[in-house]
Amino acid sequence: MREKNSIVEIWVYLSGSPLLALFITLAAFQVGLFVYQKSNQSPLANPVAIAVILVATFIQVIDMPYATYFQGAQFIHFLLGSATVSLAIPIYRGLDSLKKRSFPLFVSLLAGGGASILSAVGIATLLGADKTIIGAMYSKSVTAPIAMGIAERIGASPTLTAIFAVATGILGAILAPFVLNALGMKSWWQRGFPIGVAAHGLGTSRAFSINHEAGAYASLAMGMHGIVGAIAIPVLFHLFNS
Amino acid sequence: MISGLVQILFFQSLGELVSKFVFPSLPGPVIGLVLLLIWLVINKKISESLAFVADGFSKYLGILFVPAAVGVVLFLPQLKANAVPIVGALVVSVILTIACSALVLKLLTKKTDTDA
């Protein structure tokens, strides 16, 4: 009996400190990375999706409230802001390409970003989704750290936005080659840029794994979409919801 | 590595301040990103330490979404009830986004670009 009590005590101590949440988050991501490598980097085996499923299942099994988990994991969450700031580096590296082709790239970004919002919000509305779901659709093609910032600004759920953004990244990484082939897109920069517009970070890492030029243009597109989206999406949201 | 982190945290803090007092509609980190970008353009180079930190972030960016995305447990019933509109919107929208963005590049560069 005494031994059982001490185990309970340890458990209570651990689940009250940030240690457990940090440990399961990092460990689950480690498992995700392992599966991703083993599957030859298949976009289906996305390490983020695997980690989320593992952690979500774990905290439900041990009956840990999400708020308790987040209290520990917030130290990881906090770094999202710093990661957003550090996106300046890939954008800076892409500035030369941007100068060379600024007009087509900007128009392409606006067309893609506009299509993303109109189609996602339109289809979700037509098929009768809840208001919270529709609100989280607005910034789903923007890189997740910025998308969550935008979600807070427009009163949408940052969590749902992050989930839709990650799902969009996975879908984009899988579907992009088919769409681009169907349209007969041949040069690498023209293949990379649309992937970055639609599928941000996950699409960009996919593009880098295929061709360096495609990856560079994809990361430029992701950065541009982040900045333009942060400015334009709140305006569009109020336009649609006034 | 430390000097790179210091620079990033400095611009992040600056961004938060500007967001709070000047542009409340923009997230602080996005303003920090733009300010750091302007700083890099003026300076014309990226220090080794900053490049190291930035590449580390972009390599493991994914893990930073996990704490927020685990919040999915709070939305499970709602996601189930809306499964069809969600899947439909996400799949069709990502295809249209890629297609529109690609078609514009194709139309606008056909005549001028020779390396296409």
For chain A, positions 115-174, list CB contacts with chain B under 8 A. 115-116, 119-121, 123-124, 126-130, 132-133, 137, 140-141, 144-146, 148-150, 152-153, 157-160, 162-168, 171-172
Window from A4-18, A95-109, B39-53, B94-108 with minimum mean pLDDT: A4-18
CA-to-CA separations, A145 to A139, A150, B46, B86, in angstroms, rounded = 11, 9, 22, 21
Q: What is the pLDDT of residue A206?
A: 82
User: If you ran DSSP here, which 8-state letter would residue A196 be given?
Assistant: H
Reported as a single tens digit per residue, the pLDDT across B9-26 is 999 999 999 999 998 888
- pLDDT at residue B116, as a whole number: 42
Which pLDDT belongs to residue A43?
A: 78
Question: What distance in Å separates the CA atoms of residue B95 and residue B87, rounded to the nearest whole number?
Answer: 12
The A residues from 49 to 88 touching B (CB cutoff 8 Å) are 51-52, 55-56, 59-60, 66, 69-70, 73-74, 76-77, 79-88
The region, left, alpha or beta by phi > 0 then psi within -120 to 50, assigned to residue A34 is: alpha
- Bigger pLDDT: A13 vs A30: A30
- Residue ranges in chain B modelled with pLDDT below 70: 111-116
* Per-domain residue ranges of chain A: 2-79, 87-240
**A1 pLDDT above the threshold of 60:** no
**Segment A205-219, tens digit of pLDDT:** 888 888 888 988 998
A32, A52 Cβ separation under 8 angstroms: no
Domain boundaries, chain B: 1-66, 71-116
What's the predicted TM-score (pTM) here? Answer: 0.86
pLDDT tens per residue, range A24-49: 999 999 999 999 999 988 878 888 88
A133-189 pLDDT, tens digit each: 999 999 998 988 899 889 998 999 998 998 999 899 889 988 999 999 999 998 999
ipTM of the complex: 0.88
pLDDT band at A3 (very low <50, low <70, confident <90, very high): low
